[in-house]
Structure 1
Amino acid sequence: MTVMTGNDSTATQSVLHTTPPSTTPPTPTTLVAAVDNDAMALMALRGVLPRLLPESRWLWGVAGATEAIRMALDPQTRPRLLLVDMSLDDGTGVTVCRRIRCRTDRVLLLAVTAFSVDAYAARAAQAGAQGIVSKADMPAMAAALRAVAATANPSDRSSDDRQPRLGDREEETLRLLAQGLSYDQIAAQWDVTPATVRTHAHRATAKLGARSLAHAIALYLSR
């Protein structure tokens, strides 16, 4: 699972639903939608969303890329967080992310896939997604949803001094991997062995408490 942001995809606005006045501050609610060509997956996601991300509300779920893009860009149906399946019948998740991101940064994008997240991580990041996660890993999906939703509500973030501190090489390794470079390519740039680059990646993954390298990239890019 990974979470990532690009130059134009880092969103800092919060979407709060109007609530009656009370003596306690209202809890920010994240409007969530999804595009997935598997109807059962959409139903399952809607069912588990309250458990994965309690401070959220399901908005809609569609099967097609074209419809998802239209609804995500319409102010009347725009979600704060859109889950995008990487494999769709009428397009690709990468295309959905790219077309939405080139029009707005008000929609946070979390890519999901039934395949290896490492196969899509770089392309999803380049298309403007904040993260990518395996459909089969519910704990990882919960962590990804929380990490991406925190981007929508910066007031809920932990202070910088509570975030894990990565070394310069560890940060650079994650950044270059997110851009699609391989261990061999990074090693050639730095005049080191691929094993050295892999060590930096593993250390960064451990420091961030990530479940996988893709998850580490996502967490790093969402900081």
Structure 2
Amino acid sequence: MIRVVVADDQELVRAGFGMILDAQPDIEVVAEAADGEQAVAAVAEHRPDVLLLDVRMPVLDGLGAARRVCAEHPETKVLMLTTFDIDDYVYDALRAGASGFLLKDVRRDDLAHGVRLVARGEALLAPSVTKRLISEFAARRPAGPGRPQQHRLLEQLTARERETLRLVARGLSNAEIAAELVVSEHTVKTHVSNVLAKLGLRDRVHAVVFAYEAGAVVAGEG
């Protein structure tokens, strides 16, 4: 079972998401929270696999809660919720360690799929809306030359791993990367795993953030 904490300051939204997830045979909602402090406390008490967390929360906002949970309970994956198509908080939450985000008008099937994805340690980059938003965040935060530490990490990658990182940052799936590089999907998975391990990243979404910030890829690159 995937154990989930749902955190949203709107009771009806919180209850609705909880009902949808509890109806799934492989998902259990173990607690709900009405603000960021309650969310952090619920994670500490229940140690869920996934925290479904609203970006805008009272007492402690979603960004602050995400930072604390990712730092104190790295085994819990954070999936952010937002009502806005473009929200700087979401980008900052990804940098803080969140594994992805969903719009609050998400379809129930996509909600459950998103929870399963991040619970498996993957990033929520698959839906086209997420690709679009990540791209826009990157464009609004143009990459500089990168920090020396980032350059040193990039130097650990092989040429093929650097190319894999660039393609991941463009939002390509493993199958699309395999076609681009003319290799098998298994080989791509190996390259992606090596990239994450060498760069010390949690998942693909953080590879995207790293790639833009380190200057390994530039906004709008196709």
Give the alignment partner of residue 75 of structure 2, picking from 106, 109, 129: 106
Report the TM-score when normalising by structure 2.
Answer: 0.56
2:81 is the alignment partner of 1:115: no
Aligned to 1:167: none
2:144 is the alignment partner of 1:144: no
Distance (whole Å) between structure 1 residues aligned to residue 141 and residue 42 of structure 2 = 41
Give the match's secondary structure for 1:37.
Answer: coil
Checking the alignment, whether the CA contact within 8 Å between 2:8 and 2:53 is kept in structure 1 is yes
Change over 3 Å in CA distance of 1:205–1:30 after alignment to 2: same
Distance (whole Å) between structure 1 residues aligned to residue 37 and residue 114 of structure 2 = 25
Checking the alignment, whether the CA contact within 8 Å between 1:147 and 1:222 is kept in structure 2 is no
2:29 is the alignment partner of 1:58: yes
Change over 3 Å in CA distance of 1:184–1:149 after alignment to 2: closer
Over aligned residues, Cα RMSD in angstroms? 3.6
CA shift, 1:85, in A, is 0.3
Change over 3 Å in CA distance of 1:43–1:54 after alignment to 2: same
Higher relative contact order (CA 8 A, sep 6+): 1
Report the TM-score when normalising by structure 1.
Answer: 0.56
CA shift, 1:144, in A, is 1.7
Aligned to 2:47: 78
Distance (whole Å) between structure 2 residues aligned to residue 151 and residue 58 of structure 1 = 18
Q: How far does the alpha carbon of each residue in 1:101-134 deviate from its partner, in whole angstroms, 9 at most, with x for none?
A: 2212121111111112553332111111111111
Question: Identical aligned pairs, as a percentage?
Answer: 19
Distance (whole Å) between structure 2 residues aligned to residue 116 and residue 58 of structure 1 = 26
Checking the alignment, whether the CA contact within 8 Å between 1:85 and 1:112 is kept in structure 2 is yes
CA shift, 1:181, in A, is 4.2
Q: How far does the alpha carbon of each residue in 1:2-60 deviate from its partner, in whole angstroms, 9 at most, with x for none?
A: xxxxxxxxxxxxxxxxxxxxxxxxxxx11111110000001101111145x53111101
Distance (whole Å) between structure 2 residues aligned to residue 184 and residue 56 of structure 1 = 36
Distance (whole Å) between structure 1 residues aligned to residue 173 and residue 71 of structure 2 = 33
Distance (whole Å) between structure 1 residues aligned to residue 86 and residue 102 of structure 2 = 6
Checking the alignment, whether the CA contact within 8 Å between 1:62 and 1:68 is kept in structure 2 is yes
Give the match's secondary structure for 1:112.
Answer: strand
What is the aligned length? 151
Change over 3 Å in CA distance of 1:222–1:208 after alignment to 2: farther
Which runs of 5 or more residues in structure 2 are unaligned?
Answer: 146-165, 176-201, 208-222
Aligned to 1:38: 10
Give the match's secondary structure for 2:6.
Answer: strand
Give the match's secondary structure for 1:185.
Answer: coil
Which runs of 5 or more residues in structure 1 are unaligned?
Answer: 1-28, 153-163, 165-173, 190-199, 210-217
Q: Given residue 30 of structure 2, which amino acid in structure 1 is its aligned partner?
A: L
Change over 3 Å in CA distance of 1:135–1:61 after alignment to 2: same
Aligned to 1:67: 38
Aligned to 1:6: none
Change over 3 Å in CA distance of 1:42–1:70 after alignment to 2: same
Checking the alignment, whether the CA contact within 8 Å between 2:97 and 2:206 is kept in structure 1 is no
